[in-house]
Amino acid sequence: MRAGLRVTVTGGAGFIGSNLVGTLLRNPAIGKLTVIDDCSTGNTRSLGTDLTEVDFRLGSVLDADLLNQAVARADVVVHLAALGSVPRSMLAPLNSHHANATGTLHVLEAARNGGAPLVVAASSSSVYGAQPQLPRVEDSRPMPVSPYAVTKLASEAYLSAYHASFGLEVLPLRFFNVYGPRQRAGHPYAAVVPRFIDAALSGQPLCVHGTGTQSRDLTCVDTVCQVITTAIIDRVSSPWPVNLALGTRTTVLELIDVLAELLDVAIEIEHVAPRPGDVAHSQSDPTRLRDLFPGITAVPLRDGLARTIAWHRQQRANSHDLAAGPSASSTRPHTQGRPCTS
């Protein structure tokens, strides 16, 4: 076993989680790495060969016994497990509440019982909702407009309360439209960047909800992993939420223009009705982030999108090779419980 910090990552088979796992495994300061994921939205294939290097626990953060075992003796817990997507929460609010709000409470209890000194947890810029102030400042009043946003606001409140009540060090990070490699497009709740790239590579029109003038603070997953890794190693904490974005503002139509240039294809746009629960504009004030992480270097949008496109193209090439070649058996490392499926 590697010597170093013992870290548990919930949701480690998901998009952000699997990228973080890869980043942590490359850092010599990290020792034992435990991952818990129920694979309801993630998949162990996202971890690739990294799966052989971690202690993987198949299960939900709502399973207290499994969670307590995964968190026991951890130095840091990174809580990324969640049911994402505003539209998903509109269809099934209770499911989002149980996975996100109650799930966070379970993680905090496990960390408190297991003696973990720090919990880094994912929140969302969606908590700002109808708040008109731009850029978004952490101390402004949250005005959530979707059940998903409410679950993230409740999670933040639990984190702050556990710091005040039990002395647990916490770091709630408000993610802003994270994109990058390993973010898949083939499901109903796919985020805008993978959905657009997949459609463009398939020669299909890009479905734009509303006018396309809505704007987002797009954040490359590499930047997110850089911040979380620094928080783990340097024990950075804050009882109050911290925006994890660098203050950029890109409209949907501007995003499409950049993708068209990078892909070198003509892109057709199909406008449809706006989605309930979506916010018009989102932009971070990164002051608190830069105060806590002065060494952070953001990945420029064009560079991040180019890496993401390359990953999608590679995935398509791999799928084509599998479809064209002979069938072959595969092996996977042992995991506790049932195997993960897509």
**pLDDT of 159-206, one tens digit each?**
999 999 999 999 999 999 999 999 988 666 568 899 999 999 999 999
Helices 103-114 + 147-166 axis angle, to 10: 20
Instruction: Tell me how far apart the alpha carbons of residues 7 and 22 are, in angstroms, rounded to a whole number.
Output: 13
Give the H/E segment covering residue 18: helix 15-25
What are the tens digits of pLDDT across the range 78-104?
A: 999 998 888 888 899 999 999 999 999
This model's pTM is above 0.85: yes
Other beta carbons within 10 angstroms of residue 12's beta carbon come to 32
Other beta carbons within 10 angstroms of residue 11's beta carbon come to 27
Which pLDDT score is estimated for 188? 61
Instruction: Tell me how far apart the alpha carbons of residues 250 and 172 are, in angstroms, rounded to a whole number.
Output: 24
Instruction: Tell me how far apart the alpha carbons of residues 193 and 184 are, in angstroms, rounded to a whole number.
Output: 9
DSSP, collapsed to helix, strand or coil, labels residue 76 as strand
Average pLDDT, integer, range 298-314: 95
Instruction: Tell me how far apart the alpha carbons of residues 162 and 23 are, in angstroms, rounded to a whole number.
Output: 28
Domains observed in the chain: 5-179+219-246+278-298 (3.40.50.720)
What are the tens digits of pLDDT across the range 51-63?
A: 999 999 999 999 9
The answer to whether residue 75 scores a pLDDT higher than 90 is yes
Instruction: Tell me how far apart the alpha carbons of residues 34 and 7 are, in angstroms, rounded to a whole number.
Output: 6
Give the H/E segment covering residue 114: helix 103-114
Which pLDDT score is estimated for 184? 86
Q: Which of 28-32, 95-99, 178-182, 334-338 has the lowest mean pLDDT?
A: 334-338
Q: Which of 235-239, 270-274, 275-279, 333-337 has the lowest mean pLDDT?
A: 333-337
Q: Which residue has the tokens 């608190």?
A: 288
The answer to whether residue 339 scores a pLDDT higher than 70 is no
Instruction: Tell me how far apart the alpha carbons of residues 52 and 2 are, in angstroms, rounded to a whole number.
Output: 14
The answer to whether residue 37 scores a pLDDT higher than 60 is yes
- How does residue 158 score in pLDDT terms, banded at 50, 70 and 90? very high
